[in-house]
Amino acid sequence: MNSITQNFGAHGRLLTALAVALLGGGFASSAAACLEAGEETVGEVSDSFCGQEGWPLFYAGEVDGIKTFFDAESGDPQMRWDSATCHQCVGGVDTSFSDGYSNTYEVLWDYGDSDGLEGFDSARYCAEKGEGWFLPAIEQLELVWENRDRIDYSQVGWSDSAMPYWSSTVDKDTGQVLHVRFMDGQRAMFFTHFSRLVRCARAE
């Protein structure tokens, strides 16, 4: 075997090794790729949304630049919005219509002072699911109605009955809280000591 053949053989083996490495890396990257939340993935159910990996979620859409995901495996408990220690105590609170995270961890948590969310059963339920979970604002909740043609309610266990879902948005004039019922998408407000369904959210 002459030196040219030897060199070609060595280079060939090197190129083959590089190709295998690149292909292997490509396959690994593809397998590990996360799912981007966007218009084309509204209604998708996945535990691989970018930045939300590990949680079974469905993507509901975007409002005011906030991409909103909901728990895809919730049992939707019925509970009061406030608690026995904070009955009808949130009059005048200024909450967001589109940012439930801020409502949960800034407005309500600060309102509770040293007690945090102890006075707010629904918000506390969501916060106790772990870091990043919150009680959605009214417009985040309404995404599920607006995109109902793309979200399979039966797949994610969403109720389309007359029983509404609580939001974290408070009407500051009355101290009542906004909710949505999914039999017709009606938004209304009600007294906080009554029970409503709760579904927790995450956001990007």
Better-predicted residue by pLDDT, 200 or 25: 200
Asked if 103 and 11 sit in the same domain, the reply is no
Q: What is the pLDDT of residue 93?
A: 82
Asked if 58 and 119 sit in the same domain, the reply is yes
In which residue are the tokens 């396959």 written? 27
106-120 residue pLDDT tens: 888 877 665 778 888
Q: What are phi and psi of 197, to 5 degrees?
A: -70, 150
144-189 residue pLDDT tens: 999 999 999 999 999 999 999 999 999 988 889 999 999 999 999 9
Q: How confident is the model at residue 88 (pLDDT cuts 50, 70, 90)?
A: confident
Asked if 117 and 160 sit in the same domain, the reply is yes
Asked if 80 and 151 sit in the same domain, the reply is yes
Asked if 154 and 59 sit in the same domain, the reply is yes
Question: What's this model's pTM, rounded to 2 decimal places?
Answer: 0.82
**Torsion sign (Cα): 36, 38, 41, 43:** positive
Most confident of 85-89, 115-119, 191-195: 191-195
State yes or no: pLDDT of 7 exceeds 50: no
Answer yes or no: are the C-beta atoms of 177 and 167 closer than 8 Å: yes
Domain range for 174: 40-203
Asked if 82 and 20 sit in the same domain, the reply is no
Asked if 28 and 45 sit in the same domain, the reply is no
Q: Any idea what the CATH number is for the domain that residue 143 is in?
A: 3.10.100
Better-predicted residue by pLDDT, 26 or 110: 110
State yes or no: pLDDT of 8 exceeds 50: no
27-52 residue pLDDT tens: 333 346 999 999 999 999 999 999 99
Asked if 126 and 177 sit in the same domain, the reply is yes
Q: What is the pLDDT of residue 24?
A: 44
Q: How many domains does the chain have?
A: 2
State yes or no: pLDDT of 4 exceeds 50: no
| % of residues, the chain, pLDDT over 70 | 82
DSSP secondary structure string for all residues of 134-171: BPPPHHHHHHHHHTTTTS-HHHHT---SS--EEEEEE-
Q: What is the pLDDT of residue 112?
A: 63
Query: What's the average model confidence in pLDDT over 8-18?
Result: 44
Asked if 16 and 86 sit in the same domain, the reply is no
Residue 101 structure tokens: 């995270």
Asked if 164 and 115 sit in the same domain, the reply is yes
Asked if 123 and 197 sit in the same domain, the reply is yes
State yes or no: pLDDT of 67 exceeds 80: yes
DSSP secondary structure string for all residues of the chain: --HHHHHHHHHHHHHHHHHHHHHHHHHHHHHHPPBPPSGGGTT-EES-BTT-TTS-EEEEEEETTEEEEEESS----EEESS-GGGTT--TT----SS-HHHIIIIIIHHHTGGGTTTT-HHHHHHHTT-TT-BPPPHHHHHHHHHTTTTS-HHHHT---SS--EEEEEE-TTT--EEEE-TTT--EEEE-TTSEEE---EEE-
